[in-house]
Amino acid sequence: MFTQRQSNLPQQLLLEGVSWQKYEQFLQLLGDDFPNLRLKYLEGQLQLVSPSRDHELIKRNLGRLLEVYLEEMRIPFWGLGSTTFRREAKARGIEADECYCFYEEKPYPDLAIEVVITSGGLNSLAIYEGLGVPEVWFWQGGQLAIYGLAESGYCQRDNSPQLPDLPISQLMQQVASPNPLEAVLAFRQVLRGGESR
């Protein structure tokens, strides 16, 4: 019996000289039939990425933990997953790993999350800046980098500009946990003022 083994490295392809119309045709062609294929578009460059198993585990853990915080703090949120956001006037488009609107649903997310397993490819921050996304998180190498949008572009921050009371260090401790349920329970306990297990 043949068993297919999942790769722990994402596969990516970068195409140059792709018009906005071709980018939109790619989106239409793929539709919802290829949920494990993500597209990024920046000024004529199109990147196609097939995320790895590790990538998907980390992004789901990070999303779950953030949602636990939002629930515990009673912050209304809309989890938009990897919805495609694009703006033709800025020649930018992206499908975040996870993204959220807070307090009300909006045309573009308040927070986008990207998990980076390998370097290279398109500049995601430049894409998000063109879309006007106020905050972007990058998880890479076991660390969380937080960027807030200012007049001069994104600036790296120690804490979330929109969720200033979010305990970042405790969240980071739980993201890479081998047991997602235990991570959620431990983080919820921290948020409720208890000791982490």
66-106 pLDDT, tens digit each: 999 999 999 999 999 989 999 999 999 999 999 999 999 99
**Higher per-residue confidence, 193 vs 110:** 110
Q: Which residues of 45-67 are buried (b: 16+ CB within 10 A; e: fewer)?
A: bbbbbebbebbeebbebbbbbbb
Would the pTM of this model clear 0.95, i.e. be above it? no
**Contact (CB, 8 A) for 86 and 109:** no
- Mean pLDDT computed over 55-68: 94
Q: How confident is the model at residue 195 (pLDDT cuts 50, 70, 90)?
A: low
pLDDT of the residue at 8:
60
pLDDT of the residue at 23:
93
52-191 has CATH 3.90.1570 classification: yes
pLDDT of the residue at 26:
87
pLDDT of the residue at 17:
95
**Higher per-residue confidence, 174 vs 10:** 174
pLDDT of the residue at 33:
72
Query: What is the radius of gyration, based on Cα positions, of the chain?
Result: 17
Mean pLDDT of the chain: 89
For 136-189, the pLDDT digits (tens) are 999 998 899 999 999 999 999 999 999 999 999 999 999 988 899 999 999 999
Q: How confident is the model at residue 53 (pLDDT cuts 50, 70, 90)?
A: confident
**Contact (CB, 8 A) for 124 and 114:** yes
Residue 82 sits at φ, ψ, to 5 deg, of -110, 40
